[in-house]
A and B are shown apart, each in its own frame.
Chain A
Amino acid sequence: MSASSRLALFCALVWLSLLVLIAGAVRPATAQDLGPVQALLQDNRQLIEESSRRSIGPAIDALGSSGLDRAPVFLEAWQARSVYQRDADGLFFIGSEADGTNLALDVDTGESVGEITRDGFTQLRPNGGIRSMIGAALVQFQLQDPDPDRRRGALQAIARDAEASHLTALRGSIESEEDPAIRAAKERLERVLTITFDPDETARINAIDGFSGDIGLDVRATLNPLVLTRSEVVPGGEPPATRNVARVLEPGSDSLTIDEAYDQLVAARLAPAMVSTEDIRAALIANISDGSVGEFAVADLDTDEARLAAYQALAAQGIVPSSPTEQEIADALATHTFFESYAERSSAVTDAANATLQSIEFNLIANRSLDFTLDAVSLASIYFLAAIGLAITFGVMGVINMAHGEFIMLGAYTGYVVQLFVPDYTLSIIIALPLAFAITFAAGVAMERLIIRWLYHRPLETLLATFGISIALQQLAKNIFGTQARPFTAPDWLDGAFVLNDVVAISYIRIAIFVLALIFLAIFLFVMNKTRLGLEVRAVTQNPRMAASMGINPDKINMLTFGFGSGIAGIAGIAIGLFGQVTTELGQQYIVQSFMTVVVGGVGNIFGTLAGATMIGGLQKGIEWLNPSNTLAAQTYMILFIILFIQFRPRGIIALRGRAADM
């Protein structure tokens, strides 16, 4: 320590003791003139003026624990760098900018005492460290703020970025909390903070044990750092006793290869580095003279063996460091201990954390499975919705309609156009649903009358002709709506998600699609089994000539059935448009999957379609779960699986046998 700084320290100490003396002496007199906050500030004036992160603590604590109503106001102003000190008497004021003038407000009354002038006042400029200390002190006030929203905000702020000091403040605020929800949140947060910050080991372990099986994100975020390990290496046969050792590693085992172990030694500067091919290259280049390195011609150095030989020749001359031999490496590894240690010193805490994490892991898997099931169900409902129209046109009538995807697209664009005219989202959907049905119904009927009617019993040609329609419709949509995605927005009440816990959540829109799929299943079953139309449809598909002789007009029935199937595609388009984006490729994305759904499920049976959708949806999610980074691969594998599946059940999950199957 230099002489001058020693002198400064001495002066400061003198000043401090003087100040304390003066303060003690004059307080009775000044207390009447100054408000309680100002008085407190004047008591700590020296510390505040100094504004050093090391020493400011007592001043902030004094304010924080004063219990004064105006203390938090001052702290907030201080944190916001709007506290000024009057040079004349050293009093503190809160600056308040209004109408271009900066007024000085009394720290106790909040009344203006005049304008802050540039030469008469000094602004306090707390640095980042001090401001966060002020923030921590403020938390206790916010935790007890009368406004529940501010209390919740404070809890969230603490949870985001907790500090040891919060724990005390939090504990202090629980007693007086009256809102049960906030109280529960506070108690939970208190337990979480206890794990990290409580100095008492038993309290921490109790807190950890208390969270057994709890899948909350906050708990996992708190416990996981506790059991974080890092690899270390020390000379000798034992890890140092000061370390909380997770496990000792044996070089050459699965968890630590020889190379990794030696690299660790090198990194810890406990062994000489291996010479890499890069090093050899660099060393050789550095030692080129007259077109050769030592006795080796440069032109010959085009293999690793030749380069190594040349390098070893250099090393033998002592020009370059030699690479450690295998024996040296083995010796180095044998004389050192490799282990993983916890950053947390207490082994009792890490043991408890590991045990709790294990119990959490079990619950987590259960909950993730539930979440996965919900995901799969919702994907299955989308596939089912997309495929149900096909189940009618392809499954019941045997007509293959490759433009089915474009009918879905048509429905989605209907939704988009309706929203252009009807800004109310709820109302627009109510209008769009029947409108989409009507439009695609009409499109389906038109297509049946103009094209498909002439191609019954020529499925391959139907396929090709409807492909033509598909190509044309897609390009038409591109010409009209452009290639970029169009918005079709769900109403507010469909926004958000149903949250069960931190792991399981399902968005309302997925629930709506699921419900819609169920409704369609019910409608389909009702129409096919309970109505005259359904009876006639079944009659016509089973034996058109016989049906015709019974007075049923097969032309009309075919037309209506095809229209019905197409109309359902339109409504599916609304649902899919709400779920994703409306593009001209929207239909294409679903067409192959939809056909797969119908084929895998078993043609001609709606429950087959349901089973197919469930299987394909579940499968796709399952593959995504195993390989979450790659949804493209998931689709690839799913299609491969379906190709294989058809090997074993060529007629689908729910198969018809006998003559009916020969259709």
Chain B
Amino acid sequence: MSTLLEVSGVSVSFDGFKAINNLSFNIGPAELRAIIGPNGAGKTTFMDIVTGKTRPDEGEVLWGEKNQSLLRLSESQIAQTGIGRKFQRPTVFEDQSVEDNLLLALKKNRSPFSVLVFKKAEADTAAIQALAEDIGLSDQLTRKAGELSHGQKQWLEIGMLLAQDPQLLLVDEPAAGMTLAEREHTTTILKDAAKSRAVVVVEHDMEFVRRLECKVTVLHEGAVLAEGSLDHVTKNQDVIDVYLGR
């Protein structure tokens, strides 16, 4: 199986504290992967490194068919190569309408001059309508994003992620603060997305992870502790030690 993203031997430390310690991680195209781990295991830092927010002290992050190194690219360049990220808390542009939010995310030329002369075509409206359909917000398009409920914001953000049409989705705690029905909807969206692209979900909630029915990577103290199916890793003694304490 070819790999889409290859993280090898990455370490980063903040003021002496090793947040990531010689971490290696691979994911193929069209794969759904869940990352779990206790607080401070380095889950968010891992995402920061892949998306270019944090530069690692050592190690290599390679991307795509051509094994392009991501370490020399800026956040926006990484995003343009096809990596989308959803943050822990829903971050949508509250002051702008749902439609504008989706339009912002829609895959287009991102340079200032082309954006300045950008005119919305029929196809764009249709694409936005279709996306809104997917995330269940088709009747909310003209509302300001700030007025949406918490769950709706989460979906809007996932919708924006899909609008970017990325090859890799990094999703941080998508189910936090959702009702049961909303969680089921979210699971469906993510599993659908993983049919055509790689999806990495960071999650605390074991029930939610179980619902995803995918390979699980357990992080601990900045390194991979175990990898495999959820049943497999929950039987691992190390994982039990970490989660339940010694």
Contact = CB atoms under 8 A, between A and B. Distances in A.
B55 to A, nearest CB: 11
Interface string A621-663: 0000000000000000000000000000000000011111000
Contact of B19 (A656, A658, A660): A658
Contacts, number: 10
Interface in B3-54: 14-15, 17, 19
A658 to B, nearest CB: 3
Interface string B40-82: 0000000000000000000000000000000000000000000
A95 B17 CA distance: 95
* Most B Cβ at <10 Å: residue of A656, A658, A659: A658
Nearest to A656: B15
Nearest to B14: A658
**Chain A: interface secondary structure?**
helix
A658 B15 CA distance: 7
A652 to B, nearest CB: 15
Contacts of A656: 15
* Most A Cβ at <10 Å: residue of B15, B17, B19: B15
A64 B226 CA distance: 110
Interface size class of B (residues with CB under 8 A): under 10
A188 B17 CA distance: 66
A432 B6 CA distance: 67
Nearest to A658: B14
Interface residues of A, number: 5
B113 to A, nearest CB: 26
Nearest to B12: A658
A575 to B, nearest CB: 34
Contacts of A657: 14-15
A657 B56 CA distance: 12
A660 B17 CA distance: 12
A659 B19 CA distance: 11
A656 B14 CA distance: 9
B8 to A, nearest CB: 23
B225 to A, nearest CB: 23
A625 B17 CA distance: 44
Interface in B150-176: none
A657 B14 CA distance: 6
Nearest to B44: A659
Nearest to A662: B53
Contacts of A659: 14
Contacts of B14: 657-660
B153 to A, nearest CB: 21
A647 to B, nearest CB: 16
Contacts of B15: 656-658, 660
Interface string A27-51: 0000000000000000000000000
Contacts of B17: 658
B196 to A, nearest CB: 34
A656 B16 CA distance: 11
A263 B19 CA distance: 77
Contacts of A660: 14-15
A224 B15 CA distance: 58
A658 B17 CA distance: 9
Contacts of A658: 14-15, 17, 19
B131 to A, nearest CB: 32
A387 to B, nearest CB: 24
A657 B12 CA distance: 11
A200 to B, nearest CB: 74
A658 B57 CA distance: 12
Nearest to A659: B14
A458 to B, nearest CB: 16
A656 to B, nearest CB: 7
Contacts of B19: 658
A659 B53 CA distance: 12
A656 B15 CA distance: 8
A49 B14 CA distance: 98
A660 B19 CA distance: 13
A247 B17 CA distance: 69
A147 B13 CA distance: 76
B232 to A, nearest CB: 33
B143 to A, nearest CB: 26
Nearest to B53: A662
A42 to B, nearest CB: 98
Interface string A602-628: 000000000000000000000000000
* Most A Cβ at <10 Å: residue of B14, B17, B19: B14
A658 B14 CA distance: 5
A116 B19 CA distance: 106
A658 B53 CA distance: 11
Interface string A375-419: 000000000000000000000000000000000000000000000
A660 B15 CA distance: 9
A657 B48 CA distance: 14
A660 to B, nearest CB: 7
A547 to B, nearest CB: 20
A201 B15 CA distance: 71
Interface of A: 656-660
Given A658-B15, A659-B14, A660-B14, 7 more contacts: A656-B15, A657-B14, A657-B15, A658-B14, A658-B17, A658-B19, A660-B15
10 contacts: A656-B15, A657-B14, A657-B15, A658-B14, A658-B15, A658-B17, A658-B19, A659-B14, A660-B14, A660-B15
Q: 8 closest pairs, A vs B, by CB?
A: A658-B14, A657-B14, A658-B15, A657-B15, A659-B14, A656-B15, A658-B17, A660-B15
